Structure 1
Amino acid sequence: MSVQIYMKILAAVLFVAIATLGAYSMDAAFWISGHLPTAKSAVDTLETIHVAEYDSGKRSPIAFGEIKNPDNAYARIKLRFRVESTEGYPNLFQTAPVNLGMRMEISGSTAAIVVRDLAEPSGVKGLTLTTELKTGQWYELEIEALNGGFIRALLNSHPVFNYAGASLSMDTSQLLVGGGFDASRAFRGQIEDISVIKGNLPRLPHQRLLVVYVLLAVLITFFFFVLWKALGEYSAVQRVVGKLALLVFPLILMLGYIEYRLSFVNTLYYAKRVALEQQLNEIEVLVTGSSNGLYGVAPEAFSHKGFNLAFPAHEMYSDAKLVEKYLEKMPHLRMVVLTVNYSTMGGDDRNDTNNSWRHSFLRQYFGIPTELAAERPLDWEFWLNAHNFSRIALYGDDTKAYIQTDFLTPVDIITSSSGWYNGGDVDDPSAIFGVNAAAAHNILGDVRNYDRNLRNWETLMSLLQQKNIAAVIVLPPTDVSYHRLLDKAKIELMNRKLTEFANRHHIKFVDYTHDARFSLNDFTWEMPDHINARGAMKFSRILDEEVIKAQW
């Protein structure tokens, strides 16, 4: 066999290797990390403080302490406010006096966030919240900030801005609500349902991704060289390939660098995988589910080491596949808590275009194929859809924005090191959200999906039983404004199906939907089927007492 034939075979092998490594770069990086010495598990130092109200003239601005270490200092402030007077530049809150930290200042009908930014000539950056502020009107505000990272804001549940920059350098020596800058600029009005989450976030490690991308660059270089040698008998073609390689290689390097940086941008999927894999040897209780479980179950309240692996809009199929993927890697796992709800039981995500982007994130960051792909003997569509393996395709038009902010802008929500999303302690002030949510879920939920979704748990049940790991199905609490309007026939059928499934597999099923221990004060203002932080801690302690401790 001639040298050229050997070279052609080698070029084909290299091409397959490059395509495979590129498509599964995330799994490769975590595999390498798992076989090399790793840093200690990243743990946050977040604490949540809740205060019922502030009323100017009746009490002084409320002090929430400080964040002693400014490195990766993080604050999320969630509250409702009503302005009585806008004279004298009143401040709603601050993280430090004058212009050293972050504060919200009001001037006439304009409300803005003022934050210390070393890149600005004046040393401060102004970010407008609204130019149509009205006195006497209630507003809902959520501000989230990470030192050296980003600031983002929601007003009345609508995103206002998401600003990122390494030059953000806010002092966190004096967190106040009801004042800011100095004593002369105290807020004049009412503030209710004040929730402050503060502390330090751990830095996300890069999980040996650099090793993977350097290896890819080496393989690509070697591929072009081998291909060039393989075409030695075709000198004209060889020259074209050589010139093409010189032209294309810089572009490949640039795209590879962008893919590399996007790989560890702050997204819930990457951050959760990092946290999960750092704690695999310690986890005793694993929680799965959709956003109800993500908001509602805080492993911090468990008597045994737990981790929350729930994700927004997660389907029951994905819950099962994630547990199956990690089952062999958790030697101390004793219990899996499968949270489920009216929406996920009746949902069919196989053709859900609204959440298809979530499937791509789950595939890229956890290597979980979609339900449709898993049903095929050969996943022939994988290579036809770049969203399955390219971060540039996954982030689409937002890629440019991430490049411009040096990849500092967070993609979605930020959870604790246990995987729980702290939704703050703000109450739901109105039952109207329950009416709307119930109506939407009644329309979308299809009883024909009940059996199909439960079938996705069959293999998992067998695997858990083989390992003597307990499983429990849990329906989390919902507010009466929501559950009283759900389709009663669908609810009855759902509960019967869940009971039959639990009995068949000899596992526990607990329904907390109508639990009288929960009231409107335990739910978020956006979603009455999602528990706020206060409700989550209450629910998690109940789970621990009534479900988890029984396993030990």
Structure 2
Amino acid sequence: MKKFIKNIALFVFPVLVILMTMEPFLRKIPNEYSVKDNYLKKNSNTIDVLYLGSSHIYFGLNPEFSKYKAYNASYISQSINLDWLILNKYKENWKNLKFIVLPADYISMYSTLNTAKDEWRIKNYNLYYGFGIGINPVNYLEIFQGKFQDHVKKINEFYFEKKQAEIVSNNVGFGISYKFPSHNDIAKTSIETIKRHSVDIDNRVYHNNFKENLIAIDNIVDFAVKRKIKVIFISTPVSKEYFKGSNNLQLKKSLEVFKNLAKEKPVTCFYVDYMQNKEFTDDDLYDGDHLNDRGAQKLTHLLDSEITKLSQ
């Protein structure tokens, strides 16, 4: 038995050494999260308008087309509780911040990353933003997520072949991969997505998500009140099929949060609804609930107009 254990140890030890040696090399390869964190560390004190939120903002608002000094700190599946952590991390640096933009979506109140299918993304917030979310050791290591051969390939390409890491956002954080024209069937993707976004709002998990996001929103609003920053909640454009397929009660309860805050704190909070805005057509959409780059340019200009009004 001792010999067997010894043989196992002799096999496992070098494997662990290899894995742990690879870990720091993997972490130093630039990615969407490390790039955004580095930008905010260096430039958060110059930003006037901060976009936060999930993919609806990531692909929906392009600071390149804003007349303000804006930055898109949103990302795919980034829930409101994570938006608060990002805002709070650089709390000493927001010297010029005047507006915070947050998504007011069908699913935003009922979704948190730790209960989503892509929960694996939590690892990126822990490693590259320095958050300590959860106790799962897998969420604190690159090497334990993904295939070993893929990790070897990444290291080889970046360090030995000198290839640049693939970053699919521009230098102000906007996601550039949803191009016009879209090759998606808008009606089909609308039906598929609305099924995924519709939840049992009485289910304990989604009920808790709602409460967690509500706490995060309250934190963000309190932060804004103290610093005389305005918060804009924005419902981004979606297809007619997506809108019609939504559960009325889920949509009502979600949007009530943002509308009520706009009524209760009219100096700080504002709600703008573009979900069915007539200026947007299916040609502006990448799929049922995301804009393409052309639609994002249009939405950025419209939001700029709102910001200009609120600045007067």
Q: TM-score when scaled to structure 2? A: 0.83
Alignment correspondent of 1:392: 143
The yes-or-no answer on 1:537 pairing with 2:300 is: no
Kindly report which structure 2 residues correspond to 1:224-373, keeping only aligned pairs within 5 A, or say none.
258-352=22-116, 354-370=117-133, 373=134
Q: Please state if 1:438 is matched with 2:194.
A: yes
1:416 partnered with 2:180:
no
Q: How does 1:502-541 map to 2 (within 5 A)?
A: 502-506=262-266, 507-524=269-286, 527-541=287-301
Cα 1:444–1:294 change in 2 (3 A) is: farther
Q: CA deviation at 1:325?
A: 0.8
> Helix, strand or coil for the counterpart of 1:515?
coil
Which protein shows a greater Rg?
A: 1
Deviation string 1:247-273 (CA, Å, 9 cap, x unpaired) is: x99x86x66653332123232111222
Q: Aligned residue for 1:238? A: none
My pick for the range that moved more, 471-480 or 452-461, is 452-461
Structure 2 CA distance for partners of 1:307 and 1:432, relative to 1, 3 Å: same
Superposition deviation, residue 333 in structure 1: 1.0
How many Å apart are 1:410 and its aligned residue?
7.6
Task: Point out where structure 2 has 5 or more consecutive residues left out of the alignment.
Answer: 1-12
Q: 1:395 to 1:409 in 2, by over 3 A?
A: farther
Matches of 2:32 and 2:112, distance apart in 1: 23
Contact 1:273–1:366 (8 Å) recurs in 2: yes
Distance 1:429 1:292 in 2: 18
Structure-1 separation of matches of 2:139 and 2:114 = 16
TM-score by length of 1: 0.48
CA offset digits 1:450-479 (Å, max 9, x no partner): 344222221222122111111111111111
User: 2:154 is aligned with what amino acid?
Assistant: Y
- d(CA) in 2 for partners of 1:511, 1:426: 24
Give the whole-Å Cα distance in 1 for the aligned partners of 2:281 and 2:201: 25
Alpha-carbon RMSD: 2.6
The change in CA–CA distance for 1:306 and 1:406 in structure 2 (over 3 A counts) is closer
- Counterpart AA for 1:280: S
Aligned to 1:158: none
Shift of 1:346: 1.9
CA distance in 2, matches of 1:406, 1:412: 10
C-alpha deviations, 1:210-233, integer Å up to 9, x for none? xxxxxxxxxxxxxxxxxxxxxxxx
Q: Which amino acid aligns with 2:124?
A: F
Identity between Structure 1 and Structure 2 (%): 22
Amino acid at match of 2:179: G
Residue 253 of structure 2 corresponds to residue 501 of structure 1: no
Deviation at 1:278? 3.0
Q: Read off the aligned partner of 1:364 and give its amino acid letter.
A: L
Distance 1:481 1:317, change over 3 A: same
Q: CA–CA distance in 1 between the matches of 2:166 and 2:235?
A: 25
Aligned to 1:474: 234
Q: How does 1:41-80 map to 2 (within 5 A)?
A: none
Residue equivalent to 1:133: none
* Structure 1 stretch displaced more, 328-337 or 339-348: 339-348
Contact in 2 for aligned 1:336/1:471 (Cα 8 Å): yes
Going by fraction, where is helix more abundant, 1 or 2? Answer: 2
Residue 457 (structure 1) aligned with residue 209 (structure 2):
no
The Cα of 1:548 is off from its aligned counterpart by 4.6
Change (3 A) 1:470 1:459: same
Deviation for aligned residue 1:502? 3.1
Q: SS at 1:474's partner residue?
A: strand
Query: Which moves more between the two structures, 448-457 or 479-488?
Result: 448-457
Offset at residue 330 of structure 1 (A):
2.3
Which residue pairs with 1:48 in the alignment? none
**Cα pair 1:302 1:541 within 8 Å, conserved:** yes
- Alpha-carbon offset, residue 420 of structure 1: 0.4
Q: Contact (CA 8 Å) 1:471, 1:508: kept in 2 or not?
A: yes
Query: Mind listing any 5+ residue stretches in structure 1 that lack a counterpart?
Result: 1-247, 374-380
